[in-house]
Structure 1
Amino acid sequence: MNDGAIDYAAVFQCLPGMVALLTPELVYADANEEFLRNAGRTREQVVGRYLFDVFPDNPNDSTASGMRNLAASLQRVLETGERDAMALQRYDVENPDRPGEWEERYWSPVNAPVLGPDGKVLLLVHRVEEVTELIKARGSPRSSRARVLEAELYTRARELQDLNERLRQAHAREREVAIALQEAMLPARRQAGHQHAAVRYRPAVGSLNVCGDWYDLVDLVGGRRIGVAVGDVVGHGLAAAGVMGQLRSALSAASRVAGGPAEALNVLGRYAHVVDGAESATAVTTFIDFDEHTITYSSAGHPPPVLVHADGRVEFLDQATDPPLDAHPDPIPRPEACTRYSEGATLVLYTDGLIERRREDIDTGLARLADSLARHRTEDPEQLADSVLLELLPPGGATDDTALVIVRL
């Protein structure tokens, strides 16, 4: 069934709860049957009329505050564009058949906006649950007090549920912004600088778990050379994505003028000391020389790159490892190593989201990666990247970001 086949007006009238629609001027645009029945009003007495003309405060009660509280809640929704759950309210209702006679009533309201394409509030959804029966005394004063507490607990539970929903929505929005920021700061495939390179980025599952993983490919001066790097920032959300962008840009610039990957990481380490949020960040960078058939590399606390030789032999480039970027109070030269390769080999850089699993030794993840790369080594880089992600990432997604770069040499 498509949306056009659903009679939403009929659905609104049949909602199992008291629901009314208000204009931004607080005039009733509509009210469902349950609302009218529980309020003791007809449609003609409600629709098209100002809210507080229909339901004013009890003039015989000097402490009545229902109208003021409800007006404040509705105003918050109009100003913020976000829903507002109200505390339990006593809001007496005048008997329509006996003017001047007021009935003691208790309500638990929630107000939510209906936004237009421009983000402005078009209508207010006013949902109400009547809890009068929970409040009114049935027997002893002790019983009445117990029912008041029961109703208060019920209302607090409703408020907590609404707060949790707000937090979930806020986290989801932050996740979307963080992912968009992260992807905007990572180089596009057409900017990868080498026709045989494939890049992948997979954000973590869960609204709070988007992190600061990154990759970079940059053309180097002097012959046919490129720099390939990946890194990982500790933390989550927008802050991690922002730090990631700063470190990636700094390493990209340093690589263009550095004499080698170790020098580039030295520069990046000094920069990381003055960047808030860069604590314990890791990175590994490789300089590939296609004329000399060499890979020079250096690692700052990052899992080792993998070199899959044309004959299927898998080599982890772990001979130049060092602590994370800001580990040394006074930066010292980092180690650097060089290895040779034959044409047809494959270089793979990745972040720990690809190999690390809870309650599992990291060597198990590395062995799983080596096996997958060896079995799929004849595939082109794009197919190889997809095969590796399919085999190594959990079906429901990883709880950490994953960046992957594959270069056919």
Structure 2
Amino acid sequence: MVNGSGIDYQAVFDALPGAVALLTPDLVFLDANEAYLSMSGRTREQVVGGYLFDVFPDNPTDPDATGMYNLRTSLERVVATGERDTMALQRYDVEYHDRPGVWQERYWSPVNVPVRAPDGSVALLLHRVEEVTELIRAQSARGATDRAQVLESDLYSRARELQEVNERLRRAHTREREVALHLQEAMLPTPRPLGHHQAAVRYLPAAGALNVCGDWYDLVDLPGRTAVAVGDVVGHGLLAAGVMGQLRSALSAASRVTEGPAQALEGLGLYARSIDGAESTTVVSVFIDWNSRTLTYSCAGHPPPALCHHDGTVTFLDQATDPPLGARPEHTRRPQAQSAFTEGSVLVLYTDGLVERRHEDIDAGLQRLADALARHRTAEPEALADALLADLIPSAGITDDTALVVLRL
């Protein structure tokens, strides 16, 4: 990249003597200079495009390893506050690329700096790291000299201070998570009985996350028909939970007075323009007509509902897709489509946490859902919902919240 001064900043970046990498706010490598690649023992192809902690995981054989947690905390703090963070000395072992399972003991001095977009938001993270492994080893080898003792005491003190700060942050985030979860549970009550039709709902927070997300579901029972919806607000924590509550209530009201899901989503889209944090929300709405046995649906950027028939075939309701709320500057009519169903079929609505996995095409997740739904299709909704979560949620847990609605038609 060359600016008006004629300076090639890409060449400057590559030539920097210090090890520097550029990350997205989601901690994915965008670039790394030669010093960083040389220091880490990785090629550009192995680093760029990879998630930071997939490229450099924590040492699983060291139960006391805290490098990954400390670095993640620092980077997330920079994204949240927009302020640089100079970290205390860290031990973060690195696996030999050509000797899997063999780890090098390494020590680092990292600095994380925000790079702002024109609107002031954090667009990139500049991660500079200086390796001090040899210094630590040399100081250790010199024994119990006065200088080594002073340094060791200082390092221990800084490590304890960092540990205390991290613990305070963890407790604060945990309190916010608990409040958001209680708020979310209050706004996502167990649905009322739908006549003689059976339904089951589930909300599953992401494993290990410090904040909940804005996933929601809603069921509205009306004479002769039922409106069911699932949505996902972008963002985390109390803000996302608050936006979720407003949008869920608005869509619930719209579903009671409109003729179909497209009109309900059009009204919701107009309402979302007045709510900070509602942009890019995804939602799908399905109106079930029990008399004509038809499903009328409309989707705003959301994964398609799944309809499982008696013979185990699964149809994804993907013929009325449109961008998320607020994605278009002007108001336009949203599409809707219909699909017939037979009594006893199963309808499943869900959020992306159920099917999306990092570094995997969404079609693979949809196929897993179809296979699991076909296997368990004869189970009652409550048991079927549990079976789907058991089959589709990885043993390590999900990285995004998940809402799930299962209806026996």
Same fold flag (TM > 0.5):
yes
Contact 1:269 1:326 in 2 (8 A): yes
Q: Distance in 2 between matches of 1:201 and 1:338?
A: 27
1:7-406 pair list within 5 angstroms: 148=150, 150-190=152-192, 195-220=197-222, 223-406=223-406
Distance 1:194 1:184, change over 3 A: farther
* TM-aligned CA deviation for residue 383 of structure 1: 0.9
Name the amino acid aligned to 2:317.
Answer: L
Matched residues in 2 for 1:369 and 1:253: separation?
30
- Deviation, 1:187, is 2.7
Q: Is the 8 A contact 2:198 2:407 kept in 1?
A: yes
Distance 1:402 1:216 in 2: 14
Distance 1:378 1:398, change over 3 A: same
CA contact (8 A) 1:231 1:302 kept: yes
Q: CA offsets, 1:199-232, max 9 Å, x none?
A: 1111111242421110000123xx4111000000
Shift of 1:191: 6.0
Letter of the structure 1 residue corresponding to residue 383 of structure 2: Q
SS in structure 1 of the partner of residue 297 of structure 2: strand
Distance 1:395 1:192, change over 3 A: farther
Residue 314 of structure 2 contacts residue 370 of structure 2 at CA under 8 Å; is this kept in 1? Answer: yes
Once the two structures are TM-superposed, the CA of residue 396 in structure 1 deviates from its matched residue by: 2.9
Q: Distance in 2 between matches of 1:209 and 1:306?
A: 28
**Distance in 1 between residues matched to 2:179 and 2:276, nearest whole Å:** 20
Tell me the amino acid that sits aligned with residue 350 of structure 2. Answer: Y
Aligned-partner Cα distance in 2 for 1:305–1:323: 16
- Classify 1:192/1:182 alpha carbon distance in 2 versus 1 (closer, same or farther; 3 Å): farther
Q: Is the 8 A contact 1:172 1:207 kept in 2?
A: no
1:43-66 residue CA offsets vs partner (Å, 9 max, x unmatched):
xxxxxxxxxxxxxxxxxxxxxxxx
AA of the residue aligned to 1:295: L
Cα distance in 1 for partners of 2:207, 2:157 equals: 32
Deviates more, 1:180-189 or 1:292-301: 180-189
TM-superposed CA distance for 1:397, in Å, is: 1.8
Count of residues paired in the alignment: 265
**Secondary structure in 2 matching 1:155:** helix
Identity value in percent: 69
Is this contact kept in 1: 2:209–2:399, CA < 8 A?
A: no
Taking the aligned partners of 2:195 and 2:177, their CA distance within structure 1 comes to 29
| Cα distance in 2, alignment partners of residues 178 and 196 from structure 1 | 29
Q: What is the SS of the residue equivalent to 2:216?
A: strand
Q: Deviations over 1:318-375 (max 9, x none)?
A: 0000000110111200000011111111111000000001111100000000011011
Is the 1:187–1:217 Cα contact (8 Å) retained in structure 2? Answer: no
What's the CA shift string for 1:363-401, capped at 9, x where partnerless?
Answer: 000000001101111111111111100000012321101
1:287–1:303 Cα change, 3 Å:
same
Relative distance call for 1:194 and 1:168 in structure 2 (3 A) is farther
SS at structure 1 position matched to 2:242: helix
Find the aligned partners of 1:308 and 1:146 in 2 and give their Cα distance.
69
**One-letter code aligned to 1:319:** Q
Structure 2 distance, partners of 1:318, 1:230, is 15
SS in 2 for 1:267: helix
Residues 343, 192 of structure 1: alpha-carbon distance in 2 compared, 3 angstrom cutoff: closer
From the CA coordinates, give the structure whose radius of gyration is larger.
Answer: 1
Structure 1 CA distance, aligned partners of 2:376 and 2:214?
Answer: 28
Moved more, 359-368 or 204-213: 204-213
Q: Secondary structure at the match of 1:275?
A: coil
CA contact 1:187–1:216 (8 Å) conserved in 2:
no
Tell me the SS of whatever aligns to 2:255.
Answer: helix
What is the RMSD of the two structures over their aligned residues, measured on CA atoms?
1.6
Quickly say closer, same or farther: Cα 1:199–1:213, change in 2 above 3 A: same
Whether the aligned pair in 1 keeps the contact of 2:191 and 2:219 (CA below 8 Å) is no
User: What letter matches 2:328 in structure 1?
Assistant: H
Distance in 2, matches of 1:327 and 1:288, equals: 27
Cα distance in 2 for residues equivalent to 1:287 and 1:194 = 17
Consecutive unaligned residues of structure 2, counting only runs of 5 or more, are: 1-144
| Farther off after superposition, 154-163 or 290-299 | 154-163
Match of 2:112 in 1: none
| SS of corresponding position for 1:239 | helix
User: How far apart, in 2, do the equivalents of 1:164 and 1:340 lie?
Assistant: 54
**What is the distance in 1 between the residues matched to 2:367 and 2:172?**
39
Uncovered stretches (5+) of structure 1, i.e. residues with no partner: 1-142
2:245 counterpart letter in structure 1: G
Instruction: Please give the TM-score of this superposition, normalised by the length of structure 2.
Output: 0.62
- Code of the residue aligned with 2:255 in structure 1: it is S
Q: Which segment drifts farther, 151-160 or 363-372?
A: 151-160
More off after superposition, 226-235 vs 192-201? 192-201
Structure 1 CA distance for aligned equivalents of residues 244 and 365 of structure 2: 24
1:149 Cα deviation (Å)?
5.0
1:263 maps to a residue whose letter is Q
Cα distance in structure 1, aligned partners of 2:153 and 2:375: 63
User: For the Cα contact (< 8 Å) 1:261–1:298, is it kept in 2?
Assistant: yes
Q: What's the CA shift string for 1:48-101, capped at 9, x where partnerless?
A: xxxxxxxxxxxxxxxxxxxxxxxxxxxxxxxxxxxxxxxxxxxxxxxxxxxxxx
